[in-house]
Amino acid sequence: MQAYSLTIDKFLDHAAKWSGEREIVTADAGQPTRRIGYAALRDRSNRLSGALLSLGLGPGERIGTMAWNTQHHFEMYYAAMGAGLVCHTHNPRLTVAHLAAMINEAENHALAVSYDLAPLVMELVPRCPTLENIILMDGKADSVSGLDRLKAEIWTHEALLAGRGAPSRWGDFDENAPAGLCYTSGTTGRPKGVLYTHRSNYLHTLRALQAGSMAVTGSDVILAAVPMFHANGWGLPFAAPAVGAKLVLPGRHTDGASLARLMREEGVTVAVGVQTVWLGVLDFLDSTGGELPQLKRVLIGGSKCPDALIRRMEERLGVRVQTSWGMTELSPLGTIAPADEASSESSGRPPMGLDLKLTDVNGVALKQQRGPVGHLKVKGASVVARYFKAEVDALDAEGYFDTGDLATIDRDGNLTICGRSKDLIKSGGEWINPAEIEDIVGRDPAVGLVAVIGRTDEKWGERPVLIMEPRRGQSLDAEALLRSLRGKVADWWIPDQVLWIESMPLAATGKIDKNRLRADYASGSISAHGGK
């Protein structure tokens, strides 16, 4: 058989040849600002590869990106990876200290950044001695002051492409060559890098495109509301061109008004993002009476979605909601609910190419894999084996990666995440699982977001505290919420304290930041906002 390397440049080559006029749309605050077909984008991205190589970057070297979901960022993805460079995506919502540590560990020699993030660049360059080139994307350099004082060469995306762009040979390397680098958020400790290969990204894309998975096709119009700096943008920058789907990139603004307008005007059929994004869209539509007639499916990930939100989306939007679970270490798709089944709170099943197992606390596989709660481990071609620059593998003796999650698998193979093992609360020597409490409370239509954390208790060691963000325009009844728990969890699991806050703190990945909640609670800054 032919030798045909599994390199990601082939996705854009395929789209350019067979869906050349299909659009990639970039928007700002809900208004389209750029449109381009796959054929023209492929040409620009290929010539951008030549420009990057002219800066002295070589195979395997990392070029950082710190930008929103835009055409320029999409072009940079393929320009870097196609030429054998490593596209190292940075989350601009992290601290300067975290970003500098990642840039220095990865030895980024160039950083492609959205022009509106230039103030961050001016803080980073003095801390990052390897940075030699700064490429400004999505705007004009003359709109940014102070960059000329930095000890780095400053380019704009368009000027670099015009002045140094040249055709480049793509995919001229082994499929096991590194393609992308993404760090974990660092909210649970030191950020750790995951180095994706071309082969792992290619196989992850095939897994995502399965009929029982994301199941997008060339007739779909996909809104990528998940940032491209979050674990390959959940694989959408590869999946969309692989099938020739129209791709809508919202830029920096993912508020409800901007996304609703964009989805309606561009005829979005499949929308992908974390649950907080869809809360904003629903609230906007409820306040304006708008509709999204073309929308068929919404894919949710990031954290477990409350049943009340799923039902609200189905009833208000008339869509199929697909819940999912994944991690940066999984590229990131782990499990997903199939598109042709009824919506549920489970995170669905693993598509072909990923295996799951449940173990006890000592890592021994549970004899009964269906039903009991266990520690979730995974294995597959797009699962991390060893963190970037780590000295040892992150796998057990059978080659499985420990996700840090507690989970259960039902008889049909549906996975339900039962919480993070580190979030368990030990009260009186027994364990309380916050996720079970959150799941029940989250069903109340007045609750927007909910989290349970542990507080120190002299007698019991720890006790649970229930913290909520009310849905806009709703009031919360603490006693009624506690009554909803009785009979569903053990009496001693029921929180002693109920609090609510105006806005739930979110981590850089869009998940609820429990570390911040614990710190705020310890400092007393939460207790003043309400509750009992």
Domain match, 372 and 428 both: no
Q: Which of 305, 322, 339 is the last residue of a domain?
A: 322
In a domain, 18, yes or no: yes
Count of alpha carbons within 13 angstroms of residue 221, beta-carbon side: 17
- Identify the active-site residue in 75, 329, 438, 469: 329
CATH for 109: 3.40.50.12780
What pairs with residue 468 in β-bridges? 450, 500
* Selected catalytic residue, list 422, 426, 488, 532: 426
In a shared domain, residues 399 and 473: no
DSSP state of 511: S
Q: 431 catalytic, yes or no?
A: yes
Q: What is the pTM of this model?
A: 0.85
Q: Is the peptide bond before 332 cis (omega within 30 degrees of 0)?
A: yes
Q: Determine, yes or no, domain membership for 336.
A: no
Q: Are residues 416 and 428 in the same domain?
A: no
Residues 375 and 288 in one domain: no
359 catalytic residue (yes or no): no
**Residues 362 and 468 placed together within one structural domain of the fold:** no
Q: Where are the alpha helices (DSSP H) in 222-266?
A: 236-243, 256-266
- Domain with residue 495: its CATH number is 3.30.300.30
Single-letter code of the amino acid located at 324: S
Please check whether residue 330 lies inside any domain of the structure.
no
500 and 467 in a common domain: yes
Q: What is residue 250's three-state secondary structure?
A: coil
Give residue-wise pLDDT tens across range 250-275: 999 999 999 999 999 999 999 999 88
For residue 194, give both structure tokens. 């995951």
Give CA torsion, residues 480, 482, 486, 489, to 10 deg: 140
CATH number for the domain including 393? 2.30.38.10
Catalytic residue among 26, 89, 184, 276: 184
Q: Please answer whether residues 500 and 468 qualify as being in contact, where contact means their C-beta atoms are separated by less than 8 angstroms.
A: yes
Question: Is 93 domain-assigned?
Answer: yes
pLDDT of residue 142: 62
**Total number of domains in the chain:** 3
Domain check: are 407 and 458 in the same one?
Answer: no
CA distances from 179 to 6, 63, 77, 85, 132 (A): 11, 11, 9, 7, 21
At 12, is the secondary structure helix, strand, or coil?
helix
Phi-psi group of 316: left, alpha or beta (phi > 0 → left; psi -120 to 50 → alpha; rest → beta): alpha
Q: What is the pLDDT of residue 98?
A: 86
Domain range holding 53?
A: 9-322
pLDDT under 70: residue ranges of the chain: 140-143, 185-189, 303, 429, 508-509, 527-532
Give the pLDDT confidence score for residue 186 in this predicted structure. 54
Residues 416 and 512 in one domain: no
Q: Which long-range contacts (CB under 8 A, 24 or more apart) does 216-220 make?
A: 216/240, 216/243, 216/245, 216/270, 217/243, 217/245, 218/19, 218/22, 218/243, 218/244, 218/245, 219/245, 219/269, 220/245, 220/246, 220/269, 220/270
Q: Chain centroid to CA 134: how far?
A: 25
**Do 297 and 434 lie in a common domain?**
no
Is residue 77 a part of any domain in this protein? yes
Residues 151 and 295 in one domain: yes
Question: Would you say residue 327 lies in a domain?
Answer: no
In terms of domains, do 62 and 76 share one?
A: yes
Q: One of 431, 488, 492, 532 is an active-site residue; which one?
A: 431
Q: What is the pLDDT of residue 141?
A: 61
Residue 339 in any domain: the answer is no
Per-residue buried b or exposed e for 208-242, using 16+ beta carbons within 10 Å of the residue's own CB: bbeebbbbbeeebbbbbbbbbbbbbbbbbbbbbbb
3 is a domain residue: no
353 plus 436 within the same structural domain? no
Among residues 322, 337, 366, the one where a domain terminates is 322
* Domain end position, chosen among 390, 420, 450: 420
